[in-house]
């Protein structure tokens, strides 16, 4: 884990409704020593993996999404006896957010998801083409894995969705209703689509003549943008408070010093509100609160150890509308 002196814990309490978190990581099978590298275009990936490799094809689908594609794609290579999970663990705290395995069985996908879940950070993305494989992932009740069920795995809809949505401002949009390039929508009945959703995945279908993702949820049923937003707030607060401590000669253990930390947290929450992560009240004010203990309220032992654990915050999620029932009448 990177060196840091600031740790943020956020609990999402229901009901409620800086760092970019859009870089994908592809775990790619390649003979030789494991490496990690970030690429700005396909040429370097083609040279590293070969044009026919599954890792290259995933990267190509990500970059093919046009204006919304991420600035870079990270590639971490693995080869027997080193497993993809081992490589994931080794590079977990590098600068990426979404991880995809180049190819493998559902048990390999599950191992990746287990590793991500254990860290309580970042997300895994998979595509499956059978109810049986989906059921294995559903059993994990993952809060940090999302799955697309699609009858043509080779079209890599999960990579396309990351390319379309992952790098847009966190909180600014939902992962439902998104049109993907070079992915064929499935012709599903409502019952079949309901089965996909109940199974913990979502699909790519056509509604009202528009090709689009049918949902934007994780295996657990939580929304992708909720967890994405939670991580954005956590990491940005950690970064901003760490920057405050590192760039000042000293933050004094006084009420004024504590106020500086509170100010850094408030700045991040304001941006989170602007991005659409935090909701607003009727007056347009962002719905968050910050509580900071004064110096005199902190234990003397914490002051002696130069630790401040007295700041907490909460916020209400902005959420998004995924369904609408509209009632009307026609007067004749």
> What confidence tens digit (pLDDT) does each residue in 88-129 have?
999 999 999 999 999 999 999 999 999 999 999 999 999 999
Averaged pLDDT for residues 200-211: 97
Peptide bond into 81 cis (omega under 30): yes
Q: Is the pLDDT of residue 11 over 60?
A: no
Averaged pLDDT for residues 36-56: 97
Q: What's the whole-number average pLDDT of the chain?
A: 91
Q: How confident is the model at residue 4 (pLDDT cuts 50, 70, 90)?
A: low
Q: What is the pLDDT at residue 21? A: 82
Residue where the block lists tokens 């029932």: 325
Q: What is the pLDDT at residue 328? A: 58
* Contact residues for 313 (Cβ-Cβ < 8 A; gap 6+): 265, 269, 288, 289, 290, 291
Q: Is the pLDDT of residue 1 over 60?
A: no
Residue where the block lists tokens 């990177």: 2
> What confidence tens digit (pLDDT) does each residue in 133-170 have?
999 999 999 999 999 999 999 999 999 999 999 999 89
Q: Are 144 and 116 in contact (CB under 8 A)?
A: yes
Which ranges in 247-283 belong to alpha helices (H)? Answer: 255-275
Averaged pLDDT for residues 11-32: 71
Which ranges in the chain belong to alpha helices (H)? Answer: 42-49, 54-63, 84-90, 106-119, 131-138, 157-161, 190-198, 224-246, 255-275, 300-304
Percent of the chain with pLDDT over 70: 90
Exposure b/e, 180-189, CB count within 10 A at least 16 = b: beebebbebe
Tell which residue, 149, 151, 160, has the closest CA to residue 217: 149
Averaged pLDDT for residues 33-41: 96
**DSSP conformational letter for 66:** G
Percent of the chain with pLDDT over 90: 80
How far is it, in rounded angstroms, from Cα 97 to Cα 79? 22
This prediction has a pTM of 0.89
Q: What residues form DSSP beta bridges with 292? A: 311
Per-residue CA distances from 249 to 46, 252, 257 (Å): 47, 9, 12
Which ranges in 24-74 belong to alpha helices (H)? Answer: 42-49, 54-63
Q: How confident is the model at residue 14 (pLDDT cuts 50, 70, 90)?
A: very low
3-state SS assignment for residue 163: helix
How far from chain centre, in Å, is Cα 257? 33
> What confidence tens digit (pLDDT) does each residue in 254-281 have?
999 999 999 999 999 999 999 999 999 9
Q: What is the pLDDT at residue 40? A: 95
Q: How confident is the model at residue 319 (pLDDT cuts 50, 70, 90)?
A: confident
Lowest mean pLDDT among 54-63, 206-215, 229-238, 255-264: 229-238
């Amino acid at each position: 884990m990177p060196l840091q002196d600031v740790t943020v814990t956020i609990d999402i309490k229901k009901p409620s409704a800086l760092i970019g978190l859009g870089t994908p990581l592809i775990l790619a099978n390649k003979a030789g020593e494991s490496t990690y590298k970030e690429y700005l275009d396909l040429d370097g990936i083609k040279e590293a993996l070969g044009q026919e490799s599954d890792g290259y094809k995933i990267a190509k689908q990500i970059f093919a999404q046009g204006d919304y594609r991420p600035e870079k794609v990270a590639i971490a290579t693995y080869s027997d006896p080193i497993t993809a999970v081992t490589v994931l663990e080794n590079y977990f705290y590098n600068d990426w957010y979404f991880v995809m395995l180049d190819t493998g069985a559902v048990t390999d996908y599950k191992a990746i998801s287990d590793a991500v879940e254990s860290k309580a950070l970042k997300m895994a993305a998979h595509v499956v083409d059978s109810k049986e494989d989906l059921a294995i992932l559903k059993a994990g009740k993952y809060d940090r894995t999302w799955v697309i069920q699609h009858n043509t795995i080779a079209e890599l809809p999960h990579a396309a969705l990351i390319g379309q949505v992952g790098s847009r401002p966190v909180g600014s949009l939902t992962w439902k209703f998104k049109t993907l390039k070079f992915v064929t929508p499935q012709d599903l009945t409502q019952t079949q689509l309901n089965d996909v959703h109940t199974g913990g995945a979502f699909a790519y279908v056509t509604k009202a003549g528009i090709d689009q993702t049918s949902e934007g949820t994780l295996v657990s049923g939580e929304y992708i943008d909720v967890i994405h937003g939670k991580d954005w707030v956590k990491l940005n607060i950690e970064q901003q408070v760490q920057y405050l401590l590192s760039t000042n000669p000293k933050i004094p253990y006084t009420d004024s010093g504590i106020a500086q930390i509170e100010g850094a947290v408030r700045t991040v929450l304001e941006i989170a509100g602007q991005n659409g992560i935090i909701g607003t009240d009727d007056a347009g004010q962002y719905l968050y609160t910050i509580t900071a203990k004064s110096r005199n309220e902190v234990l003397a032992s914490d002051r002696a150890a130069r630790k401040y654990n007295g700041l907490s915050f909460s916020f209400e999620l902005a959420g998004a509308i995924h369904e609408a029932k509209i009632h009307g009448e026609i007067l004749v």
